[in-house]
């Protein structure tokens, strides 16, 4: 644990950001490992089925992150205010809320899985594989929720290493256990799902043991008291985050719809560029996560000067590193694309992907800084601001710009529209910051 209300702010920011980023990369590798083993050991149908499931699971993760956001913001502020007794109560009631949501999600999946697959236009031949995988994952959803909420608690109190260890546990075991369950035990795609649940369970047990040993947090489940006030606070903070994630995912789906009209090469190029985008996003969420924790603890203590100093240092760190990455991305756009696909087999994909990365290299700084500023609002507890900014960014900028620019510039117009939306969205976030309305938000 680290008290971020005192000490060197730059050091705190680096000590949080680097492990956060490493954890994000490891979790990303977890899904890559699953895809590799499913594709190589079973085939394209299993790979396609897991991809379909990923879309559905992402919706549930968005809901889970909403609850964990509410929990982590409350805990970081209580920790900063030195109100340690409330931390256990927030955690316990958040777990109850999360488990109830997971059970409801399982019931919905069991009843409506077929209609959902029809809406998503999933090929009929994939139905059996998708249903097997989804059923197993949804039964294990409480474990996934516990993984997210335990890691969020550690981050809230300034412990960035334990979540990294938990991520390392899941990836290392997953790499070896996946092929055993998929091929050698003969469980196929079910084996991949069971492997995911098993590795997360081991990580959760490790994380919970670390929580129990922490005498300051005093987290336990003895004589748990359901507190409607605490649950209400968690949901009041968390629901806007759920809606924000929903808006973003729908916007991404509509952007994909526009791109799909330009053929397979454009879709493939967007997928290649998306791999680079994910690296940028992982970094931005890591800096943003650090800023949110620093903000939360200092908000709890009532130290506005350190809150704003944390944001300023976060912006500087994000700006310079993203600037360097953007230069690399612009100069080496083509080689970056060729990492994922050969120029001999798909020259059109390379051409489109190269232009995509060069356009995005001018917008990555705006994207990253926007996420950092929004994370500051989240740390304060003003998650409604983040939700509204996301709505404006997607529906007022990204989608209209992509449709309009595409009419004049073709597929390149879509890239211009996405890049322009990042810049304007940052402008909205900065304007909101200077209104000072976030200063009036009170959580604890």
User: Do 103 and 155 belong together in one domain?
Assistant: yes
User: Do 147 and 39 belong together in one domain?
Assistant: yes
> What pLDDT, on a 0 to 100 scale, did the predictor assign at position 222?
67
Model confidence at 198: pLDDT above 80: yes
> What pLDDT, on a 0 to 100 scale, did the predictor assign at position 207?
93
User: Do 316 and 368 belong together in one domain?
Assistant: yes
Model confidence at 200: pLDDT above 90: yes
User: In the block, which residue shows the tokens 């903070």?
Assistant: 237
User: Do 202 and 330 belong together in one domain?
Assistant: no
User: Do 259 and 216 belong together in one domain?
Assistant: no
Q: Is residue 3 part of a domain?
A: no
Neighbouring residues of 50: CB distance < 8 A, sequence distance ≥ 6: 34, 35, 38, 133, 189, 192
Neighbouring residues of 173: CB distance < 8 A, sequence distance ≥ 6: 198, 199, 202
Q: Is residue 232 part of a domain?
A: no
Q: Report whether 374 contacts 311 (CB < 8 A).
A: no
User: Do 216 and 260 belong together in one domain?
Assistant: no
Model confidence at 219: pLDDT above 90: no
Q: Is residue 1 part of a domain?
A: no
Domain boundary at 226, 259, 278, which? 226
Q: Is residue 235 part of a domain?
A: no
Residue 256 domain boundaries: 245-440
Tens of pLDDT, residue by residue over 124-142, are: 888 888 899 899 999 999 9
User: Do 210 and 265 belong together in one domain?
Assistant: no
Domain boundary at 196, 226, 256, which? 226
Using 50, 70 and 90 to split pLDDT, how confident is the model at 223?
Answer: low
Q: Is residue 191 part of a domain?
A: yes
Q: Report whether 35 contacts 50 (CB < 8 A).
A: yes
User: Do 105 and 208 belong together in one domain?
Assistant: yes
- Percent of the residues in the chain that have a pLDDT greater than 90, as a whole number: 43
User: Do 269 and 373 belong together in one domain?
Assistant: yes
DSSP letter at 43 equals -
Q: Is residue 231 part of a domain?
A: no
pTM: 0.86
Q: Is residue 27 part of a domain?
A: yes
User: How does the average pLDDT of the chain come out, rounded?
Assistant: 88
Q: How many CA atoms lie within 13 A of 403 on its CB side?
A: 9
Tens of pLDDT, residue by residue over 243-266, are: 888 788 778 777 877 887 788 788
Tell me how many domains the chain contains: 2
Q: Is residue 186 part of a domain?
A: yes
User: Do 220 and 266 belong together in one domain?
Assistant: no
User: Do 356 and 388 belong together in one domain?
Assistant: yes
Give which of 59, 121, 133, 66 is closest to 94, Cα–Cα.
Answer: 66
Tokens of 88: 């256990």
User: Do 58 and 162 belong together in one domain?
Assistant: yes
Residues recorded for the chain: 444
Tokens of 311: 């944001």
> What pLDDT, on a 0 to 100 scale, did the predictor assign at position 339?
80
Pairwise CA distance, residues 5 & 286, whole Å: 19
Pairwise CA distance, residues 429 & 425, whole Å: 6
Torsion angle, alpha carbons of 29, 166, 8, 385, to 10: 70
Domain boundary at 194, 226, 258, which? 226
């Amino acid at each position: 644990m680290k008290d971020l209300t005192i000490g060197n702010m730059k050091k705190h920011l680096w000590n949080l950001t680097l492990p956060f980023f490493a954890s994000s990369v490891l979790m990303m590798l977890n899904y890559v490992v699953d895809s590799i083993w499913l594709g190589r050991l079973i085939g394209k149908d299993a790979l396609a089925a897991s991809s379909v499931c990923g879309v559905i699971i992402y919706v549930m993760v968005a809901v889970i992150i909403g609850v964990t956001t509410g929990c982590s913001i409350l805990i970081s502020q209580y920790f900063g205010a030195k109100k340690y007794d409330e931390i256990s109560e927030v955690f316990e009631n958040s777990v109850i809320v999360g488990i109830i949501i997971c059970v409801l999600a399982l019931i919905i999946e069991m009843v409506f899985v077929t209609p959902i697959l029809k809406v998503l236009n999933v090929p009929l031949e994939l139905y059996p594989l998708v249903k097997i995988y989804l059923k197993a994952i949804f039964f294990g959803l409480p474990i996934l929720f516990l993984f997210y909420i335990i890691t969020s608690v550690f981050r809230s109190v300034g412990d960035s290493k334990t979540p990294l260890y938990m991520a390392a546990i899941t990836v290392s075991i997953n790499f070896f256990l996946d092929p055993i369950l998929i091929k050698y035990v003969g469980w196929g795609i079910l084996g991949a799902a069971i492997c995911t649940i098993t590795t997360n369970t081991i990580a959760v047990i490790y994380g919970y043991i670390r929580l129990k040993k922490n005498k300051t947090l005093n987290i336990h489940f003895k004589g748990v008291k359901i507190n409607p006030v605490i649950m209400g606070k968690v949901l009041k903070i968390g629901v806007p985050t759920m809606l924000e994630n929903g808006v973003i995912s729908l916007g991404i789906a509509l952007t994909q719809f526009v791109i799909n009209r330009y053929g397979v090469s454009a879709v493939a190029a967007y997928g290649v560029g998306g791999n680079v985008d994910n690296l940028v996003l992982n970094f931005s969420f890591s800096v943003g996560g650090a800023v949110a924790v620093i903000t939360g603890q200092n908000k709890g203590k009532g130290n506005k000067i350190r809150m704003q100093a944390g944001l300023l240092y976060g912006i500087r760190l994000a700006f310079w590193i993203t600037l360097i990455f953007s230069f690399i991305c612009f100069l080496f756009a083509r080689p970056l694309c060729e990492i994922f696909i050969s120029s001999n087999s798909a020259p059109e994909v390379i051409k489109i992907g190269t232009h995509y990365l060069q356009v995005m290299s001018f917008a990555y700084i705006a994207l990253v800084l926007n996420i950092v500023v929004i994370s500051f609002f989240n740390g304060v507890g003003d998650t409604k601001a983040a939700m509204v900014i996301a709505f404006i960014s997607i529906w007022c900028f990204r989608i209209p710009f992509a449709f309009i620019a595409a009419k004049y510039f073709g597929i390149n117009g879509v890239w211009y529209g996405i890049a322009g939306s990042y810049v304007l969205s940052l402008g909205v976030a900065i304007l909101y910051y200077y209104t000072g309305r976030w200063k009036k938000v009170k959580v604890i």
